[in-house]
C-alpha cells in the first residue's frame, strides 16, 4: 500500500473521532509549546545578559577585594570581605601598565541620602575619574561628565543616573540645579542615558569626582590602615586577545605590592567579561535545560495518551484488520498503517504546539515582560521529539495490530 493511501486512512480515522483526536494530541501540544517557549525565553535571557555585560564596557577587567572570611564569621555573615584594595593599587597599576591598556580607573562607592526640594531617598554615590565614562561606555543625554579638572579642583559637581534624575526632578532638566548629598551641596552637570535593568546599571547611581569624595564626603569610611580604599579598579584592555596578558600582569603587580608569596592565597580577584559571561550563561543554560526537562514530562504524558488511544483503536478495528489480512495485507503493511496514524497524531500536535510556543514567546517579547529569541534549533528540536514520541509510543499498538491472526480477528466481537 502506498504511503499516501496510508496517510489518507490515518486522516479519515482522526476525522471519524474528532474530539478524541483533539484530546489525544493535547499533551503533545502543551509539551511542544512549553519546550519552544522556554528555549526561546532562555535564549533571550542569554542574549540580554550578554548585551548587558558588553554594554558596561569593552574588554573590561574588574579588580575587586577577594579574600573572604572563613569559619564562624563566614557562616554568620555570609561573604564579608576581609581584604581591601587601595587607591595606591590603582596608582601602581597605572604606572606599571605601559602597553595593551586603554584606561585604568579607580571606583569608590557609598550610599548617602540625596535631596532636592521635597524629594529625598538613599542612592549609591560613586567617586570616579573622567576616563570612567569611556571605560564603562556611558552616554549622556544632557550636560557633561566628571572631568579631570573637577578632580584636581575637588569641585562639588555630580552626574545623575537616569532613574535618579527622574525621581528627583521628574520632567525638569537637572543640569545646573543643586542637590544635597549627605547634607553637602552639589551642582548637577550631567545626566546619563538610561541603561535599563542590566548588570551594573548606572541608572540608580550618582557620580562625583573621586577626589571630592575623599576630601569632602566619604570621610573615615573610605580609609583603611590610614590609606584611601577603593571598591574596584577597572581596566579597559586595548584588544580582547590581550585580556589574559593584562590579567596576568595585574596579578603579578598586585601580588608583589601586597607582599604575597607565590604560595599565598590572593587577596583580590581579577574578573574579565568572558568569565562573567560564561558564569551567567552557564546558569541560564542550566535553568533552561531544567525547565525544558520538566516540559518534556508533558510530552511523555502525551505520548502515553496517544499509545492508549491507539490501543483502543486497534481493539475497535480488529475486524477491519482481520479483513485486510484475509485479502492479502502483510504484517508490515498493517504495522506501517498504524505507525503512520500515530506519527500523524504526534506531528499534528507538534505543529500546533510549535505555533502556540512561538506565539507565547512573541507575546512575552511584545509585552516586554521577558525577552525571547526564537531559533530554528528550538523548533526543529521540538518537532523531532514530537515525531520520536509518535514512533516510540506507536510501536506497541502497531505491533499488536500487525500480529493479529486474521481468523481470530474476523471472529472478534
* Per-residue b or e along 374-408, where b marks 16 or more CB atoms closer than 10 Å to that residue's CB: beeebbebbbebbeebbeebbbebbebbbebeeee
The DSSP letter of residue 213 is I
In whole angstroms, what is the distance from residue 206 CA to residue 138 CA?
13
Residue 274 lies in a domain: no
Last residue of a domain, one of 205, 240, 266: 266
Same domain, 146 and 246: yes
Same domain, 92 and 32: no
Same domain, 216 and 97: yes
The pLDDT, as a whole number, for residue 206 is: 96
382-to-42, 49, 289, 293, 385 alpha-carbon distances in Å:
15, 25, 13, 12, 5
SS3 162: helix
Residue 68 lies in a domain: no
Same domain, 228 and 101: yes
Q: Other C-beta atoms within 10 Å of 323: how many? A: 14
Same domain, 19 and 90: no
Same domain, 285 and 156: no
Q: What is the DSSP string of 61-80?
A: EEEEE--B--THHHHHHSS-
Same domain, 254 and 293: no
Residue 65 lies in a domain: no
Domain containing 309 equals 3-52+279-410
In whole angstroms, what is the distance from residue 44 CA to residue 51 CA?
10
Number of domains in the chain: 2
Same domain, 137 and 211: yes
Compute CA 196 distance to the chain's CA centroid, rounded to the nearest angstrom. 15
Cell of 259: 607582599
The pLDDT, as a whole number, for residue 25 is: 81
In whole angstroms, what is the distance from residue 13 CA to residue 4 CA?
14
Q: Are strands 184-192 and 178-181 parallel, antiparallel or unpaired?
A: antiparallel
SS3 271: strand
SS3 305: helix
In whole angstroms, what is the distance from residue 128 CA to residue 213 CA?
9
The pLDDT, as a whole number, for residue 362 is: 87
Last residue of a domain, one of 266, 293, 321: 266
Q: At what angle do helices 87-96 and 243-257 cross, to 10 degrees?
A: 130
The DSSP letter of residue 239 is S
Residue 77 lies in a domain: no
Residue 328 lies in a domain: yes
Last residue of a domain, one of 266, 287, 317: 266
Residue 246 lies in a domain: yes
Same domain, 186 and 283: no
Q: Which helix (H) or strand (E) holds 64?
A: strand 60-65
Q: At what angle do helices 273-316 and 331-367 cross, to 10 degrees?
A: 140
Residue 379 lies in a domain: yes
95-to-98, 102, 154, 258 alpha-carbon distances in Å:
7, 13, 23, 16
Same domain, 201 and 329: no
Same domain, 113 and 238: yes
In whole angstroms, what is the distance from residue 378 CA to residue 293 CA?
13
The pLDDT, as a whole number, for residue 53 is: 63
Same domain, 319 and 293: yes
Which residues of the chain are modeled with pLDDT < 50? 68-82
* Best CA proximity match to 41, nearest among 299, 296, 380, 287: 287
The pLDDT, as a whole number, for residue 257 is: 86
The DSSP letter of residue 81 is B
Q: Work out the end-to-end distance of the chain between its first and last CA atoms, rounded to an integer number of angstroms.
A: 27
The pLDDT, as a whole number, for residue 344 is: 82
Cell of 107: 571606583
Q: Are strands 227-230 and 60-65 parallel, antiparallel or unpaired?
A: unpaired
The pLDDT, as a whole number, for residue 184 is: 95
In whole angstroms, what is the distance from residue 228 CA to residue 141 CA?
32
Residue 79 lies in a domain: no
pTM exceeding the 0.75 threshold for the entire prediction: no
Amino acid at each position: 500500500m502506498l504511503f499516501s493511501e496510508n496517510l489518507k486512512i490515518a486522516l479519515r480515522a482522526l476525522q471519524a473521532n474528532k474530539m478524541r483526536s483533539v484530546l489525544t494530541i493535547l499533551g503533545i501540544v502543551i509539551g511542544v509549546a512549553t519546550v519552544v517557549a522556554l528555549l526561546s525565553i532562555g535564549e533571550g535571557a542569554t542574549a540580554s545578559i550578554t548585551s548587558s555585560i558588553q554594554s558596561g564596557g569593552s574588554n573590561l577587567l574588574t579588580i575587586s577585594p577577594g579574600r573572604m572570611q572563613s569559619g564562624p564569621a563566614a557562616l554568620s555573615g555570609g561573604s564579608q570581605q576581609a581584604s581591601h584594595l587601595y587607591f595606591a593599587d590603582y596608582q601602581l597599576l597605572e604606572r606599571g601598565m605601559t602597553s595593551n591598556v586603554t584606561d585604568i580607573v579607580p571606583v569608590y562607592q557609598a550610599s548617602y541620602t540625596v535631596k532636592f526640594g521635597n524629594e529625598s531617598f538613599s542612592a549609591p554615590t560613586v567617586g570616579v575619574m573622567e576616563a570612567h565614562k569611556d571605560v564603562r561606555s556611558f552616554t549622556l543625554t544632557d550636560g557633561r561628565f566628571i572631568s579631570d579638572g573637577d578632580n584636581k579642583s575637588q569641585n562639588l559637581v555630580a552626574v545623575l543616573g537616569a532613574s535618579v534624575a527622574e525621581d528627583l526632578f521628574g520632567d525638569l532638566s537637572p543640569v545646573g540645579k543643586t542637590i544635597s548629598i549627605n547634607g553637602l551641596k552639589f551642582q548637577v552637570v550631567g545626566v546619563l542615558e538610561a541603561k535599563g535593568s542590566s548588570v551594573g546599571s548606572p541608572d540608580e547611581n550618582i557620580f562625583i569626582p573621586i577626589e571630592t569624595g575623599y576630601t569632602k564626603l566619604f570621610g573615615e569610611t573610605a580609609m583603611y590602615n590610614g590609606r584611601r580604599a577603593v571598591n574596584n579598579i577597572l581596566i579597559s584592555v586595548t584588544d580582547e586577545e590581550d585580556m589574559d596578558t593584562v590579567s596576568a600582569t595585574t596579578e603579578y603587580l598586585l601580588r608583589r605590592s601586597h607582599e604575597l608569596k607565590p604560595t599565598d592565597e590572593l587577596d583580590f580577584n581579577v574578573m574579565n567579561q568572558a568569565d562573567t559571561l560564561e558564569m551567567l550563561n552557564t546558569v541560564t543554560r542550566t535553568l533552561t535545560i531544567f525547565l525544558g526537562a520538566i516540559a518534556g514530562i508533558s510530552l511523555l504524558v502525551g505520548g502515553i495518551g496517544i499509545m492508549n488511544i491507539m490501543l483502543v483503536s486497534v481493539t475497535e478495528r480488529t475486524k477491519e484488520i482481520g479483513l485486510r489480512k484475509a485479502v492479502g495485507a502483510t504484517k508490515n503493511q498493517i504495522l506501517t498503517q498504524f505507525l503512520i496514524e500515530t506519527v500523524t497524531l504526534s506531528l499534528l500536535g507538534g505543529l500546533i504546539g510549535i505555533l502556540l510556543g512561538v506565539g507565547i514567546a512573541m507575546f512575552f517579547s511584545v509585552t516586554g515582560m521577558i525577552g525571547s529569541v526564537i531559533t530554528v534549533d528550538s523548533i526543529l528540536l521540538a518537532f523531532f521529539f514530537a515525531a520520536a514520541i509518535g514512533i516510540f509510543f506507536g510501536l506497541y499498538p502497531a505491533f499488536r495490530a500487525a500480529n493479529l491472526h486474521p481468523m481470530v480477528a474476523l471472529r472478534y466481537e
